[in-house]
Amino acid sequence: MNTLLSEEQRDALQELMNISMGQAANALARLISAKITLSIPKISAVTPHKFLAMLTKRTVWYTRQSFLGAIKGEVVAILSKDGCDAIALLMDYDLPLTQDTLNELLLELANILAGACLAGFAEQLSLKAKLSMPTIFMPAALRVEQYRWASTLIMEVEFKVEASHFDSKIVICLEEASVQTLLATLQQLLE
Amino acid sequence: MSHQVLLQKLTSRLPLGICVVNKEYQIVYLNDFFTDRLRHVGGDVYNKNLLDLYPEAAKYLAKKINSVFVLNNASFSYWEHKPHVFNFSSSRPITGEETLMYQNIEFFPLDILHDSVETVCVVVQDVTELASYYRAQRALSEELEQEHKALTELNKKLEAAQNQLLQSEKMAAIGQLAAGVAHEINNPVGFVSSNLQSLQDYNAKLFKMIHFYRKLIQKINNPTYLALEKDMLQRQQYVFVSSDLPELIRESIDGLERVAVIVKNLKLFSHVDNSEWQFADIVEGLENTLKIAVNQIKYKATMHCNYQENLPKLYCQPMQLNQVFLNLLVNSAQAIENKGDIFIDVSATKEMLYVAIRDTGSGIAPDNLRKIFEPFFTTKPVGQGTGLGLSLSYSIIKKHKGEILVESTLNEGSCFTLQLPFLAPEDYQLDQAADAASFQP
Ligand SMILES: Nc1ncnc2c1ncn2[C@@H]1O[C@H](COP(=O)(O)OP(=O)(O)OP(=O)(O)O)[C@@H](O)[C@H]1O
Ligand SMILES: [Mg+2]
């Protein structure tokens, strides 16, 4: 169903992702001095329908953050409610978390992960992209009909902090037009 | 204009605070947004330590800036979480209600040398306008939510009231039915009861006769007759019958008496909406009410009743007062969690009759004490209480020109005292006339 990408392109992209996500995991590990495990990056083309279906869990929080530059899009971070307190401690927050400090923590975490993922990724491709402030994201109110795009490329990777059962997923979503830029750049790299 | 001059002019006019620091937090660059607000420091701020200039924010700033140096990644600070990182005063000192500036801050790596961050740029955005708008919105929506809650609450109360009305309609219907049934049963119960009395009487007479005949036969002392008598007595199980028969009759009379009591209570109950004014014995009313409430009380509380002797009759609506007693007694029983006591004390002076109903139940919190007479105030779960009992009682006592007083200690118990004045029928006539008038179309 991934008609957007050829097999070859996908492998190349996956390799790129692997490297950049490793850097993101390192960044988080350094910040909280804990061991981070990383899933294999998943690359897929999604429709708005599928995209919304990804955002229906009740056991997680969502943040979103857009990026601008040679490639454009948004990064959605999915952060588990489990283990948040442990991460808060590692990151020097006072417990118990209030609504405000929880939001602050979620946004900071999302920003670190998304920033590292995107920076690594953009650097590998020599494409510039600058992230804006993340905000808390409540996907419950979204409806498919509101979307003006048909299909796009997303890249997901999961980070787990083993010691504290914390689990997070970073989803880089490219704007439709940026997919072409990405593919062209990939093609150059492959040749 | 040279490029540099242009840039300088630009940064000095930007509505943003811009500050660049090195790894030691020494200020490498500050734009006018900062320097304008740092007049009091005096001297050259360059090379000063940023953390020293803003000691209250030092810890937070250090954490944020460090994360940029370490991770080579931008970091953000939001007004929602940290509204006033820099103690800048509000940009609306005259018209605004806020005293400090609300700030969004971005920290990002500026000079990067061989993957290592050399300087960090701090950009401060004044979002006071936005924040106060947002906060006003939030206050508004909270207000709306409150109102919504109040409405929902009100809805629930209306529902409860409707249920109560339905309930009382049902009760009235049951009451009528009960009155009819009671009346019908009363007749047969009456004659069965008097017949049983006669039966008991005749039975005693018959046994006396048998006794007499047996003595006679013994006197005659004829072996044949004696044998015949013995045989007869045995065949007819005389010993058993003679002991069982009176007992059967006694039991039947007992049972019938119980039926009579139930019928009487049913009749009383069916008259609860009777509001006739008359001279009535309050103790009798209390006792009748107790009989009705006995099922709700007997597993919870031991009753202790103390009535002053020779109490005069009170001009009142006896059935309405019974309703008050019932409410108070049921409340007391419901306030007792496991096992407790209820004390009823009736006494009188020349002018006033006092009925005190005291329990060893949960007591009432001081905060609630003011509210218990309000209609719909209840602390009981849905279905158990409608919160109408006391408000109804209050209005009934007011109609009698009386008072209802409460004393209560949490976890010890409560005492409700009714003060009812001994008044003459004339004293109530005006009110009754008004009542009657209000029913006319
Ligand atoms: N004897 C008592 N001990 C403790 N609390 C009492 C007592 N009597 C009344 N209260 C408090 O006052 C509230 C109001 O009493 P009220 O009789 O008006 O309503 P209710 O008993 O809750 O409901 P209803 O009588 O309509 O079934 C009760 O919910 C209870 O909290
Ligand atoms: Mg009650």
Q: pLDDT tens for residues B300-314?
A: 999 999 999 999 999
DSSP class of residue B99 equals: S
* Closest partner CB to B76 (pick from A30, A101, A133): A133
CA angle (B342 as vertex; B339, B345 as ends), nearest 5: 170
**Interface contact B183, partner A, CB < 8 A:** no
**Does residue B406 register a pLDDT over 60?**
yes
**How far apart are the C-alpha atoms of B318 and B344, rounded to whole Å?**
17
Strand partners, B416: B357, B406
To the nearest whole angstrom, how far is the Cα of A112 from the nearest Cα of chain B? 7
Domain boundary assignment for chain B: 3-126, 138-269, 278-438
**Which pLDDT value is given to residue B168?**
64
What span, in angstroms and rounded, lies between the C-alpha atoms of B81 and A178? 34
Asked whether the beta carbons of A62 and A136 are under 8 A apart, the reply is: yes
**Which residues make Cβ contacts (< 8 Å) with residue B163, sequence separation at least 6?**
B386
DSSP strands (E only) in B249-366: 278-280, 301-307, 314-316, 340-348, 352-359
Task: Mark yes or no for CB contact B74/A115 under 8 Å.
Answer: yes
Query: Which ligand is located closest to the Cα atom of residue B411?
Result: 1
> For residue B342, what are the β-bridge partners?
B303, B359
Strand partners, A76: A64, A171
- Each domain of chain A, given as residue ranges in start order, spans 7-190
pLDDT at residue B441, rounded to an integer: 38
The residue of chain B nearest to residue A130, with distances taken between CA atoms, is: B74
B389 lines ligand 1 (CB under 6 A): yes
Give the pLDDT confidence score for residue B175 in this predicted structure: 64
Is A133–B78 a contact, with Cβ atoms under 8 angstroms apart?
Answer: yes
The reply to whether B49 touches chain A by the CB within 8 Å rule is no
Q: How far is CA B123 from CA B108, B111, B120, B126, in A?
A: 8, 15, 10, 10
Segment B246-277, tens digit of pLDDT: 999 999 998 888 788 777 766 665 654 567 89
Q: What is the reported pLDDT for B269?
A: 58
Residues of B in contact with A108 (CB under 8 A): 75-76
Determine, for residues A103 and B80 on separate chains, whether the beta-carbon distance falls below 8 Å: yes
> Would you say the CB of residue B414 lies under 6 angstroms from ligand 1?
yes
Q: What does the pLDDT read at residue B240? A: 94
pTM for the structure as a whole: 0.55
Give the pLDDT band of residue B174 (cuts 50, 70, 90).
Answer: low
Fold topology of B278-438: Heat Shock Protein 90 (3.30.565)
Q: Smallest Cα–Cα separation from A159: which of A10, A11, A9, A31?
A: A31
Residue A189: its pLDDT value, please?
Answer: 79
Contacts of A119 in chain B (CB under 8 A): 72-73
Strands B314-316 and B278-280: antiparallel
* pLDDT tier at B438, thresholds 50, 70, 90: very low
Q: Which CATH code fits B3-126?
A: 3.30.450.20
What SS3 state is found at B428? helix
Q: How confident is the model at residue B440 (pLDDT cuts 50, 70, 90)?
A: very low
Question: Which run of H or of E encompasses B320?
Answer: helix B318-335
B400 pLDDT more than 90: yes
Nearest to B21, CA basis, from B78, B85, B69: B69
SS3 sequence of chain A: CCCCCCHHHHHHHHHHHHHHHHHHHHHHHHHHCCCEEECCCEEEEECHHHHHHCCCCCCEEEEEEEEEECCCEEEEEEEECCCHHHHHHHCCCCCCCCHHHHHHHHHHHHHHHHHHHHHHHHHHCCCCEEECCCEEECHHHCCHHHCCCCCEEEEEEEEEEHHHCEEEEEEEEECHHHHHHHHHHHHHHHC
Find the mean pLDDT for residues B224-250: 93
Within 10 angstroms of residue B349's Cβ, the number of other Cβ atoms is 9
Number of Cβ pairs closer than 8 Å across A and B? 42
How far, rounded to the nearest angstrom, does the alpha carbon of residue B268 sit from its chain's CA centroid? Answer: 30
In this complex, is the C-beta atom of B81 within 8 Å of any C-beta atom belonging to chain A? yes
B330, B373, B378, B394, best to mutate for ligand 1 pocket (most atoms within 8 Å of CB):
B378
Ligand approaching nearest to the C-alpha of B414? 1
For residue A26, the distance in angstroms to the closest alpha carbon of chain B comes to 9
Cα of B166 from ligand 2 centre, angstroms: 17
Kindly list the distances between the CA atom of residue A40 and the CA atoms of A20, A37, A43, in Å, as whole numbers in the listed order: 12, 10, 10
- Say if ligand 1 is within 6 A of residue B390 CB: yes
Q: Supply the DSSP symbol for B239.
A: H
Low-confidence residues of chain A: pLDDT under 50 = 1-2
Per the CB < 8 A criterion, the answer to whether B263 and B189 are in contact is: yes
Tell whether omega for the bond before B55 is within 30 degrees of 0, i.e. cis: no
B63 touches chain A (CB under 8 A): yes
Residue whose CA lies nearest to ligand 1 atom number 1: B332
CATH homologous superfamily of A7-190 equals CheC-like (3.40.1550.10)
